[in-house]
């Protein structure tokens, strides 16, 4: 058993309005069942989600958080612009984005963009993945999946990994429930987060710095799924999320 992870080389610096599917299809011949993994950074650049820090005017909530934490109120305003609920203000902002993903700084990023600018991840990464996927299919004539990734930290552990924040035609979870283990025992709770695992694998080739590899193709694994899929499937429902409940309690006690 094996699969391939292929870095797409020679992608230029991306700017607002760039046609990512054409740029990618010119550099690699896509095949049926490929999984095209794209860093959210270049999706944000192509979508024009680029803001100059000095142009941002902080609102009341951003000013309050800044006065409590000593952080740049303009950066906090940028994070709040993409946030639903705020769980932690310091030492970092931990929020749930408007799309439902819980992460640090709502994914607002200062790296791999010119000095003084911020990148906001797309407001609806599933919609961005679908748009890209449909264009890949049109250009290549192949049936394929798309994952938009970002780099996130994990609870309890140091070190960041690639995670999926938007998907197209791939089931983000593989259910093992009802399958048997080596000894015939029925698995009762195991659900494998395949979209995040694939994002992590792709991130090994992307790196976090100046490698210039924002697109990786995973070939040889079949997770293709016809029809509507959404990364929301991976987000725990409110009533089941004890970590969020705990964080809310913590806020009340401070």
Residue 115 DSSP one-character state: T
Which of residues 213 and 225 has its CB atom nearest to ligand GDP in the complex? 213
Which of residues 53 and 213 has its CB atom nearest to ligand GDP in the complex? 213
Closest CA to 9 of 206, 246, 174: 206
d(CA 222, CA 144): 10
Q: Can you tell me which residue has the tokens 């095209």?
A: 36
Residue 204: partners with Cβ closer than 8 Å, 6 or more residues away: 5
Q: How far is the CB of 48 from ligand GDP (least distance, A)?
A: 13
- Our finding on whether 129 is near ligand GDP (CB under 6 A) is no
Which of residues 73 and 165 has its CB atom nearest to ligand GDP in the complex? 165
Other CB atoms within 10 A of residue 188 CB: 8
125 and 229 in contact (C-beta within 8 Å)? no
Closest CA to 85 of 70, 101, 69: 101
Q: How far is the CB of 242 from Mn ion (least distance, A)?
A: 27
Q: How far is the CB of 72 from ligand GDP (least distance, A)?
A: 19
Q: Can you tell me which residue has the tokens 């089931």?
A: 171
Which window, 48-56, 84-92, 209-217, 238-246, contacts ligand GDP (CB under 6 A)? 209-217
- Our finding on whether 42 is near ligand GDP (CB under 6 A) is yes
Task: Summarize as ranges the residues that interact with ligand GDP (CB under 6 A).
Answer: 11, 13-14, 39-42, 45, 109, 111-112, 150-151, 206-208, 210-214
Task: Summarize as ranges the residues that interact with Mn ion (CB under 5 A).
Answer: 109, 150-151, 208
């Amino acid at each position: 058993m094996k699969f391939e992870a292929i870095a797409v080389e020679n992608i230029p610096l991306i700017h607002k309005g760039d046609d990512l599917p054409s740029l990618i299809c010119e550099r690699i011949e896509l095949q049926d069942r490929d999984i095209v993994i794209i860093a959210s950074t270049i999706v944000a650049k192509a979508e024009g989600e680029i803001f100059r820090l000095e142009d941002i005017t902080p609102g009341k909530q951003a000013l309050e958080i800044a006065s409590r934490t000593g952080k740049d109120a303009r950066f906090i305003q940028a994070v709040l612009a993409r946030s639903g609920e705020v769980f932690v203000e310091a030492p970092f902002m931990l929020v749930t984005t408007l799309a439902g993903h819980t992460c640090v700084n709502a994914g607002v990023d200062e790296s791999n963009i010119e000095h003084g600018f911020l990148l906001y991840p797309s407001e609806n990464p599933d919609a961005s993945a679908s748009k890209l996927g449909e264009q890949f299919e049109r250009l290549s004539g192949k049936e394929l999946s798309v994952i938009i990734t970002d780099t996130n930290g994990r609870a309890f552990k140091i070190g960041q990994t690639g995670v999926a924040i938007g998907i197209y035609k791939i089931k983000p979870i593989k259910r093992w429930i009802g399958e048997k283990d080596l000894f015939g025992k029925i698995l009762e709770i195991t659900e494998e987060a395949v979209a995040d695992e694939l994002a992590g694998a792709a991130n090994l080739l992307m790196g976090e710095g100046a490698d210039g590899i924002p697109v990786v193709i995973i070939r040889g694994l079949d997770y293709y799924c016809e029809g509507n899929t959404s990364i929301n499937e991976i987000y725990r429902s409110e009533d089941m999320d004890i970590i969020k409940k705990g964080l809310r309690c913590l806020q009340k006690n401070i």
